[in-house]
Amino acid sequence: MKCPNCKESELAPVMTKNGVLVDYCPRCEGIWLDRGEIYYFTKTPKYLRWKIKDGLKNSRLSKILNPHSHTPLVGLPLRGNKMVIYYCLKTGGVWIDKEVLDEFLSEKNFFIKIEIDKNTFPSELKAPVGAPVHLPNLALTSGVTLFILYGLLSLILISLVNLGYLDPIIALIIGVGIAFVQFLISPFLMDFVLRFLYKMRWRPLERLPEKLQTFLKDISPKHNIRVPKFGIIYDGSPNAFTYGHVPNDARIIITSGLMDLLGEDELEAVVAHEIGHAVHWDMLVMTIAYVVPLILYYIFRTLIRIKTSGKDKSAPVRYAIAISSYVLYLISEYMVLGFSRVREYFADRFAGKNCNPNNLASALVKIGYGLAGKGKKKERRKPQLESIKAMGIFDPTSAVSLAISSYHPRFMGRDVDKDTLKSVMRWDLWSPWAKYYELHSTHPLIAKRLLALSRQAETKGESPYVVFNERRPESYWDEFLLDFLIVLLPVVAIVLSAVLFFVKRDIMFLELGVLLLGGTYLLRTFFSYNFSFFPEMKISSLLKKVKVSGVRPVPCRIKGKIIGRGVPGLIWSEDFVLQDDTGIIFLDYRQPLGIWNFLFGLLRAKRYQGEEVKITGWYRRAPVPYIEIKSMETSTGKSTCYVFRVKIIVGIILTLLGAVLLVLK
């Protein structure tokens, strides 16, 4: 886009100091804001909207042109005839000159504050991708992780033996037997489940694409393994996963959607990733690792459910071991998740060594399209595939995020819009919430995998798939800690009142707890559902926002077309996919009772397919970018969601109930 003012320089994406991306002219230092983006820079959006409407009464046509449509903008004064910004009557876009930006900052009480972070100028973004991501020694990591996991398990088993709750032979059988049986039968069980529930069919090597045949015949002997057995699931959802006992009996399962969506080189890269899991013995190692949290949780549940007759003198010790087992279960669960993420990086690196790393990066992006319903073929996907998502090439939740970030109507059928892709990567790489969600995932965040593959490509002399060397303009931990505190407030109220009750033995603390629960629940609801003002925005503008989470939303209104359901092919899916002229985003239709969601999806959702709609709601990331619907309007009617209203009512009832109980006491 050419600068609307000097008409010579190209506008470049630059971050502001509050974490919002804007289009900036490096020559005249003005900025362009798309529809609704100006409301990111004010704490009084209603007042700003009123000032814009009032300024339009005195607006005059200018020579400044919209950089998208090249239509004239109107000069719109915000204070008398001063502080003129340039406004597009058709699109709602805004151009602000450097002089006005400086005036915004010079006046302490002015209601708009926009400060460019000059460390993120385009010239700063052309640095090399960087050194390859350092990965620890895989054998050492595996050995240490399994040693610690089984050390935790042995600690509990030994305690049970010494206290007389468990015979030593039984302890040994539990520790070894469960691991052996699970490892022995799980591949055959998977064969049965995939064949009869997912209609998977085995395909001989000679029936695979010719280029893939050649690749498999070359790579398998090179790594001293047999050519893996291939199965095809005839489903439009593009995915791939591996299972088996050892490298020589590995099964690689791919979907027909994957074969339809990817080019030959990209398909090779995905298969190489799966072969990497086999070569690294991931099937065996991860099975052994997953047994530990399974047994620890089993011990916890067993000890809690033990019932004794008469006075139970052993209860304190038993409960102590049960609680210890649960704590160790949580520790081991997170260790296994972290272990799984490390092995995913190694599988990516294996694919990058045997193929062009950019092919796998490109495949990840295309798979993201497919999981968001953007594949070539519109085959119906089986909702049951959700049960095996942990074995896929990556978490479908992350894939949805990637699809949304990469999609742009102008780029369909061509290369991915890298600028839009990087807009969403900023949240993945900068937001503490992204780290929180990754902590609970079997796979690394897609942005991190893309960067690792890009660095690997550069070390092989290839151009990196994506360059992301932008400096984070500020720390986002203060917002994260506030969000997390807001989430925990009702829990803190319950725990605090319960502790005081057991210590003081006074019923007043339970009544006080009801009052605190109601008050904190109301506070969390009002924080999570800001409904004072819903500015009209574009999807691309929402994706630029870094300070957003599942708790901290951006109120908005979006106009677009419903192009699909949230779960393609599922007849009772109540969620939607919305497209406007800048991108796609998921819509979360939510009612207070699950049965309402089911009936809406089954009986009414179909009528919205292909409809032009106006959505009012809250944009969130958790980690998928989505809009929680407040209301959905079409030419024929309006549908309203009542979750936030019911939450307010529940909070008020609890607060009043607690107050009444305290007064009556």
User: Would you please indicate which residues are annotated as catalytic (active-site) residues?
Assistant: 274
Residues 407 and 374: their CA atoms lie apart, in Å, by 9
CA nearest neighbour of 474 among 426, 420, 410: 426
- Who contacts 214 (Cβ-Cβ below 8 Å, separation ≥6)? none
Per-residue exposure over 129-141, b if at least 16 CB sit within 10 Å of its own CB, e if not: beebbeeeebeeb
* Secondary structure letter of residue 253 according to DSSP: E
Question: At 61, is the secondary structure helix, strand, or coil?
Answer: strand
Give the per-residue SS3 of 515-532. HHHHHHHHHHHHHHCCCC
Residues 93 and 85: their CA atoms lie apart, in Å, by 10
Residues 344 and 132: their CA atoms lie apart, in Å, by 16
* Secondary structure letter of residue 41 according to DSSP: G
Matching residue, tokens 């829990």: 491
Residues 101 and 16: their CA atoms lie apart, in Å, by 12
Residues 374 and 495: their CA atoms lie apart, in Å, by 46
Alpha helix segments (H runs only) across 280-417? 282-305, 315-354, 357-371, 396-406
> Nearest 10 degrees: CA dihedral of 459, 462, 465, 471?
50
Residues 134 and 447: their CA atoms lie apart, in Å, by 16
Query: Contact 137/38 with Cβ under 8 angstroms?
Result: no
Query: Contact 401/623 with Cβ under 8 angstroms?
Result: yes
Sheet holding 240-243, edge to edge: 200-203, 229-233, 251-255, 240-243
The number of CA neighbours under 13 Å toward the Cβ of 424 is: 33
Query: Contact 32/94 with Cβ under 8 angstroms?
Result: yes
C-alpha 82, offset from chain centre: 44
Q: Which two tokens stand for residue 553?
A: 């939303």
Percentages (nearest 5) of helix, strand, coil residues in the chain: 55, 15, 30
Helix (H) or strand (E) holding 22: strand 21-24
Residues 537 and 534: their CA atoms lie apart, in Å, by 9
